[in-house]
Structure 1
Amino acid sequence: MAEKGSGNMENNSSGDAVPGRTEQILCQPCSRKDKQTVADVFCSICDEFQRLDCSNIHKTYAFMKNHKLVKAKDIKEKPVSFDMKGLDQCDEHQKVLKFFCEDENQLCCSTCAIVDHRKCHSVVEIQKIAARSASASSKLKASLQDIREKAETVVKYTKSPKEQLDQDVKEVSLKIRRMRDNVMKMFDDLERSVAKDTESFKRETLGKLTKKQSDNEKHIADVTKSLETIDNVHQHGTPSQQFILEQRMKKQVSERSSNVDKECQRLETVTISFDFDETLKLPPLSISDYIPGTLTLKYSVPEAVKPITSVDPIVKLTKVTSIDLKQTGNNVKEPLYSGLDFLPDGRLIAVDNKNKNCLIYNEKLKKVGSYQLSYHPQSVVVVSVEEVAITSGAGYKIDFLHISRSNELTLIRTCKVTTKYDSICMKDDRHFAVGTYDDTRHVRIVSLSGEEKDFSINFPKKKYPISTSACTYIRNSDKVVLTDRDEHTIYIYDIKSNTRVVVKDDQIKKPRGVAVGPPDPSDCILVCSKKTDSIVQISQTGRIISSYKLDTSHPYRVCVSNDKSIIAVTNKRKLQLFKVTY
């Protein structure tokens, strides 16, 4: 897709071809002045073909001295750029934004840089500084995700009062009708009077609530569109385009966040009630002279409303016990526990990739059972109280083992599969979510009977080598989490909206294993960060909550007990248990 607003190579069409005639590339500055002159050079920074006279501006201004000019005839085809849909154009001069003024924190085109910022001390080319903010788009997306979730909360909150209004109005009518049996005339008049007032109040209130709902649904739509734009630019745009988009959206995000926060602080409660007086004056008094009760019509904002925000408590870890993983007489190689999971009763299951073992540990990390496998296992997941499933990678199968209360392991069945599977977790009671390698479908769904299908996720067209990514699934929000070891990145895919949050942070380096952590119902994400020797806690919106430094290096896998009170972590040297507090 060609960059919007950028010049294109202008050639003679094939229909006009004449023997001996060569295709000519026109000077773009001259073309804008309705002049047809042949270009002599191409500037990759200005992204323009120019004749020599037009290109002499490079000798005039110091900030253009590093621009590289090459002969136009040596350019076979002008580079095609990602279409930013005008976001990379200067609002004032309609030129491509190529500079950034660090003094005034503004994006500039070449005209802005020359005319408006010539006295500034630090006007730099965007392509030279774009790489500084590699994690900016993920933080921007996290902010947008927070805005969307707050707006969704407001929409959900406004629907309840609307339903309650109808219920309250019906209750008032029923209350009045029960009294009408004794004083029919007065209560007929009373019902008409009250119904008129309540319906009027309801119409006015519904108008306000409907507008609030509509405004926040627009916030949701705008944020979803912005998230899609960021994803597209992150996947297809250049670092410069990513930087430009970040600068463009910062103000929008700030304004949207402020608006949604105000809405969250003004979640009105609406009530209608009717209370009868203890004594009633009977007709012939006119109903307008005396109403036998008090009609309450209330539309208010509570004074002490609590801010509705995503509260993610910090997970604190306290080490309970630890064992060293060493080569023993039964082991051919140094152990590598490539998969961990807890049984419901607290026993820990581990698979040793190097020595082809499945092992059982009690709550004190004493080995109480083992089973020799015929292949190198990749990962393990607990299916039920007495059953686990093990992935075999290139073995193209998933084995199911029975575990007795006396810690005996028995192979009960094998499911053949068509994909190389690594990490595995339960998607629901009948399906797994399984991470792949050497496949563009990074996470797939496999049933307990071995049937395979894909998530409705637009994964990037890349393949992960073995042990370079791991996945988990968050049930309560229908999200898939994927680690990318070589890109130092965590991807959080929302299945319902087919959007994703990209998490990059200095606290996450070479991420490996990942698990769904406590507490319910917010369910944070726990990631093993190899190069920082820590377990990093991330919210579902991509915010870094905390980082726990381990006393051992290069954590490999992490899992959480059923009651979410214990966390197990392993690397090549140790297996450790930690108690969870908040």
Structure 2
Amino acid sequence: MASNFESSIQRGCDFIHDFACSACEEDGLNTEAQHFCNQCTKYYCDKCVPVHNKLYKRHTVLDRKDVKKWAAAPEMVDVLERCNRHPGETLKLVCGDHDKLCCHVCVAMDHRHCSSIQHIPDAAKGIRKDPEFRQLPQRVDVLRKQIEGMKNDRKKKRASLRKTRTAIIDEIKAIRKKINDILDKMEKTTVQDLDRLVADQELSIKKDMDSCTQMHDELKSIMDDIQSKDSSGEPPIYIGFRKCEEIIKQASEILQNMSNVVKYDITFRKHNEIEDNLSSMKNFGELNESNVFGAQPHASLFPREHVFATESYKEYNVRMSSDKISCNIQGICELPGGEIVISDYNNMKVKLLDQEYRVVDHRDVPEYPWDVRHIGGNEVAVCVNNNDDDRHELHFINITKGTLVTTRELSFPHNCFGAVHLGTNLYISSYTALYVYTITGRPVKKLYEYKSDGGTVRRIAISNDGKTFYITNSSNHQLITLDNLGNKLATFTDPDLRRPYGVHVTTAGHVFVCYLTSNTVMQIDKDGKMKLATLAKEKDGVYEPQAVYFSNRTSSLVVGGYKDTLLVVHVR
């Protein structure tokens, strides 16, 4: 039967029909239909239509000359079984190579060379007993709640965004008012200076005019006196003459002095810097966009090349009364609402912390929990690993109303110490290799391997664009940087930095690494080639750190290790 099925698939690849015989399709054959039954809403070839007509004598059967009336037939295909790419076709096959449901047209066009094509009835056998199928209602219900929660969150974000817009506009108007006030003050001062200069010059002009009037009147008066003394003899006339000469001399000197002032004028030369500075500015300030993306609730407000400096340190106790031994924090991540999820290896617990770093809930796991990573919405994935009983799993946990609920689990044939989620892929570190899986757990490939010793692929982090991978190689005291094809780009080592363990990359591309033996938290450049800053050391509260996470919400590094406390490092 398998060989007949494979040959039918091959025939399906060779011919693509507008309408395939429904009866032949049920037998795994691909035969072009020549007839269509309105009542059955099925197609029949010349060999199958006689059987149909014999069974259903009163059905109306259309042949090829009425093919235009067949057009409505594809819509009659059951919605669930309808091929999304070819609505007139029914999903009959599944491609194992691409994990895709297919119709015959899909196979002929896109899966001709695939080696794992299976008939859906064969693939569907025992589906009701499949554990994943049994969990499907619960998973869908959880996901629907996540979707509804995300929708409500987006509504709140939209309302908050509009409030932010109003607040920024108010700030812009306040800036504009301050600028207007400054300009008004500058204008007032300039006009006052102008009025003072005009007043000074007007006073000088008035003095000149008064002097001219006085000289004019004195000359007229002395001449009138001389002319009136004409009959009085020469002495009075002589006296008048001499006085007039003196007045003429004084008047000439005054006129000469006045003539030296060519004109009264005021000039104005504007400060070009005012216009130049204003015209060079396109807006009142810099607007920074904060986006929800990937595993972090907010995009970093710090530019990619920013080198951080420490502002303060504070420790928060995360040990519970039910914890039997001291904590060992192996993983840290943050939810969109600001809650923190940590994995406590020693006590085999996943703990939920509120925004004040208080433990509000926990969930026991069957084996030692290692890394914990945000997947999306309020879902995280926890690496659960124990070589003694061959358990290598990834547990997906959803946080609903402050409660941790395990929704599904994936098992691996190798160790599972670290995990990162990006797009539709999961990246799993196995201690010596980096594997790629689909989000459903289907293996894709081994991206990188370093077998010289254990602990060569301890933890991993991926840049936001998915182009750069960072791997901590504890055994060789290295931070290794790869491209997305697994090619090594850089290897960073430092004699003062021993056993790199946890690594984290922000959405903007800042790289942070904690060193287990050196009790140090560092910022490394985005190329993975040099250290940029030391942000915390043992004297600051760092003790054998194994997990580091940067919270954009609080602009702080959260560090965990062999301690009952988390160290929160506020940076700038």
The alignment's TM-score, normalised by the length of structure 1, stands at: 0.42
Higher-Rg member (1/2): 2
Greater percentage in helix: 2
Which structure is higher in RCO with an 8 Å CA cutoff and minimum separation 6? 1
